[in-house]
Amino acid sequence: NQFDVIIRGGIVVTATDTFRADVGIRHGKIMTVANILTDGTKIIDASGLLVMPGGIDSHVHLAQPSFDGPAMADGFESGTRSAVAGGNTTVLPFALQPRGASLRSSVVNYHKEADGQSYCDYGFHLIVTDPTPSVLSQELPALVEDGYTSFKVFMTYDDLVLNDRQLLEVFSSARDCKALVMVHCEGYDAIRFMTERLEAVGKTAPYYHAVSRPESVEREATHRAISHAELTDVPIMIVHVSGREPMEQIRWAQNRGMKIYGETCPQYIALTSEDLKGLNMDETGGKYVCSPPPREKESWEAVWSGIKTGVFQTFSSDHCPFFYEGVGGKLNDKARTSFRWVPNGIPGVETRLPILYSRGVAEGRITVNEFVALTSTNHAKIYGLYPEKGSIAPGFDADIVLWDPNRKETISQRLMHHGADYTPYEGQQVTGWPVMTLLRGKIVAEEGKIVGSKSDGRFLKRRLSPYAMPGSNR
């Protein structure tokens, strides 16, 4: 047979086009996209379904140790299982450098966690916490060469924060090795100040997590990162942008012609700071503690305007799962004493696509092509995976999600494949749901069942990002 698999009768959707066509797959690659194809070993009936590039989630945390001890609820096995169930075919988690350790040894450790344990393809961003001269001048360039072409830096968290001098050194090194820098923009000192002030008057419930880091704190750090990117003339990606104020900083920089990119996440269009409310630690506020925190409901439309007008190129989950109950959970003994000890982060790799499709496409805020760009194509382009990943066209990997645009579901822990014991989107109703996920031509998830194996995923050595090329920020 000419094709191993033919996906027949669906509507193919790319970042630019929507058309009825069959997709012919051979040896894991898309070989032909044409009106009618025959001669396939296996025929998949996609009538009534959208045929879209598999989701690429460029911001997930798996198997990452956290500063205050609690173990993450997902390693690679459960995290990527959840990813494919949610219509994703590639994830980009982080390899965190503990202070004092080498970047390379951290990468080796994460490979031990991931290799042979992944249901989908994966690459790694680095997290630089200890930018010593040898890390910046030797380790980083060597790792970029090896396909780890992006890394994240933090402007807050005790064990991760870099000061301004360090940020400038790191940005400047990124420029030299053409790596793309992702920046967590929240101001360390302001958060510490607010946290101590709140704790001093007994305001320790989870809700005060949001009060301790308001939008102004994120806006200030976003502006500071942009200024540093201007001084060093290096493009940067501002990750997990929560609302209007930081978004307006990015728009301001983009309007000046700077290469400043933006990412936003489901929690900023589907959760609010009200969700963190609770009078004491036994209420459920801790389930929603992530940073930056979800904002007011009015903030949702501001984020949508940023999505619609291109301020944001990527929509990622920032999947960072912790258990709610039990030892090491969000309600652990220390966490009950103050919001400051509640592990930061929420699960979301499985619900990212349904939430954006439902609130975005089904409710008429974005087109289905914008959906594909925001969930797949732009991630591939920005993080050096194009043209293998991120579209439906001859030569691309056959990473495909078959999507039922009319399926109504109620998000529930019962449906999830992640390791966590809850979903923060419990009870939310969505229209649009993945019915089948193919990784390089192989069905890995179907109707909520995992049919792939944890040895299916491959490590992706990524090329340099064209988005990281310097020359326009000053």
Closest separation in Å from C-beta 17 to ligand URP: 33
For the CB of residue 308, give the shortest distance to Zn ion in the complex, in Å: 24
Q: In 100-163, where do the E strands start and end?
A: 121-122, 125-127, 150-154
Q: Which of 344, 351, 377, 378 binds ligand URP (CB under 6 A)?
A: 344
CB of 398 to ligand URP, least distance (A): 31
Closest to ligand URP by CB, 214 vs 452, is 214
Q: CA 244, CA 227: separation in Å to the nearest integer?
A: 19
User: Which sign, positive or negative, has the C-alpha torsion 291, 350, 272, 241?
Assistant: positive
Among 10, 87, 131, 345, binds ligand URP (CB under 6 A): 345
Q: Which amino acid is at 41?
A: T
Q: Which stretch binds Zn ion (CB under 5 A): 3-11, 116-124, 204-212, 213-221?
A: 3-11
Nearer to ligand URP, 152 or 228 (CB): 152
In the three-class reduction of DSSP (H, G, I as helix; E, B as strand; rest coil), residue 8 is classed as strand
Check residue 295 for interaction with ligand URP (CB under 6 A).
no
Q: Give the footprint of Zn ion on residues 294-333 (CB under 5 A).
A: 318
- 4 contacts Zn ion (rule: CB under 5 A): yes
Distance in Å, CB of 243 to ligand URP, minimum: 15
Nearer residue to Zn ion within complex by CB, 275 or 318: 318
Question: What, of Zn ion, ligand URP, none, does residue 4 touch, CB below 5 to 8 Å by kind?
Answer: Zn ion
Count of residues interacting with ligand URP (CB under 6 A): 9
d(CA 289, CA 159): 18
Residues contacting 434, CB < 8 A, separation 6+: 85, 86, 87, 353, 354, 401, 402, 403, 404, 445
Query: Does residue 318 touch ligand URP according to CB under 6 A?
Result: yes
Contact status: 215 vs Zn ion (CB under 5 A): no
For 277, half-sphere exposure in the C-beta direction (CA atoms, 13 angstrom radius) is 7
- Report CA torsion sign: 327, 330, 336, 340: positive
Applying CB under 5 A, which of residues 104, 125, 184, 251 lies at the interface with Zn ion?
Answer: 184
Task: Quote the CA–CA distance of 154 and 161 in Å, as a whole number.
Answer: 5
Among 167, 320, 380, 401, binds ligand URP (CB under 6 A): 320
State in angstroms the smallest separation of the CB of 154 from Zn ion.
6
* Interface with Zn ion, residue 77, by CB under 5 A: no
Interface with Zn ion (CB under 5 A), residue total: 3
Give the list of residues 6+ apart from residue 273 with CB closer than 8 angstroms, or none. 207, 210, 293, 294, 295, 296
By a kind-dependent CB cut-off of 5 to 8 A, residue 81 interacts, out of Zn ion, ligand URP, none, with none
Closest CB to ligand URP among residues 174, 238: 238
Nearer to ligand URP, 291 or 465 (CB): 291
Token digits of residue 305 = 């305007």
Residue 128 Cβ vs ligand URP, minimum distance, rounded to whole Å: 14
Residue range at the interface with Zn ion (CB under 5 A); choices 176-184, 209-217, 254-262, 331-339: 176-184
Cβ neighbour number for residue 285 with a 10 Å cutoff: 25
Residue 184 as a binder of ligand URP (CB under 6 A): the answer is yes
For the chain, the distance separating the N- and C-terminal CA atoms, rounded to the nearest angstrom, is 56
Judged by CB, which is closer to Zn ion: 139, or 318? 318
At 91, the amino acid letter reads: V
Mutual orientation of helices 215-232 and 188-200 as an angle, nearest 10°? 160
Tokens of 431: 């229209």
Based on the shown chain and the rule CB under 6 A, indicate whether residue 217 belongs to the binding site for ligand URP. Answer: no
Query: How does 118-140 read in b/e, with b if 16+ C-beta sit within 10 Å?
Result: bbbbbbbbbbbbbbbeebbeebb
Give the Cα separation of 229 and 219 in Å (integer): 15
Q: How far apart are CA 110 and CA 389, in angstroms?
A: 22
Pick from 290, 353, 356, 411: which binds ligand URP (CB under 6 A)? 290
Query: Are 207 and 285 contacting, i.e. CB atoms less than 8 angstroms apart?
Result: yes
| Strand-pair partners of 22 | 34
**Contact map string, positions 222 to 261, toward ligand URP, x by CB under 6 A:** ------------------x---------------------
Q: Which is nearer to Zn ion, 64 or 273 (CB)?
A: 64
Cα–chain-centroid distance for residue 81? 16
Interaction partner, residue 344 (ligand URP, Zn ion, none; CB < 5-8 Å by kind): ligand URP
Q: Which two tokens stand for residue 310?
A: 């291109």
CB of 142 to ligand URP, least distance (A): 25
Token pair of 202, please? 């007994």
Interface ranges with ligand URP (CB under 6 A): 61, 184, 240, 290-291, 318, 320, 344-345
- Interface ranges with Zn ion (CB under 5 A): 4, 184, 318
